[in-house]
Amino acid sequence: MKWKYITQDIIDAGGINVTSAEMFAEAREYNIEAVRNYTKKRRNHWFIAIWSLGQLVLSLVIGIMLVVNNQLEQMFTSTTTPTWRILLRLFGFLAYMGVFAYFVIIRRDPRPHVMLLSTLPILIADWRFAGVAAFNFLVGWLHEKTEDQLREKCGYPKFSRLIVTTAYSDSDVIKELTFDSIRDKARREHPDDDELK
């Protein structure tokens, strides 16, 4: 949205001195949008955080289920898995957990290609984890898309709300500030101004 009165300097200062009803309405609209954008940004970051930790637990549960299933099949077919294959699968699983934890959780880099590449070692453990890698790419892409949309908004990245003050009001706090209180004070101070009548 294009703002008529609100500039980056006003946003950096953190407040605006309202001198008209239009300025008050625009400052109010900016504050509402700032809260919406901040909420959207926080929700986006929480989604990545919850998915990042949740997928590690989910992968561990799926891995245990695959091992149990494999053991049951081997028990009924009287076959065994070579030790080198077990160690290779274990290495792939641990490499996935370590690489993903380092790049996505610790370094906080949820770009789609980083999330996909850090998940690829799990494919060494079992090809059935391909869904985790694909879903990681999708989650990273959605996160980046939302973040790019928010970057274009005024007030990014903090989306701090403006403190609204006025030289033309008897109000002591913002809750008491209304269009009428601004107009009444302006009429008393400028009785000859035709625009205020």
Question: Whole-model pTM?
Answer: 0.73
Name residue 15's beta-bridge partners. 163
Q: What is the pLDDT along the chain (197 residues), one digit of tens a residue?
A: 678 888 888 888 888 888 777 888 898 999 999 999 999 999 999 999 999 999 999 999 998 998 888 888 888 888 888 888 889 999 999 999 999 999 999 999 999 999 999 999 999 998 989 999 999 999 999 999 999 999 998 888 888 888 887 765 555 555 666 667 767 777 777 777 776 66
Rounded-to-5 percentages of helix, strand, coil across the chain: 70, 5, 25
Measure the CA–CA gap between 159 and 174, rounded to whole angstroms. 19
* Domain residue ranges in the chain: 16-184
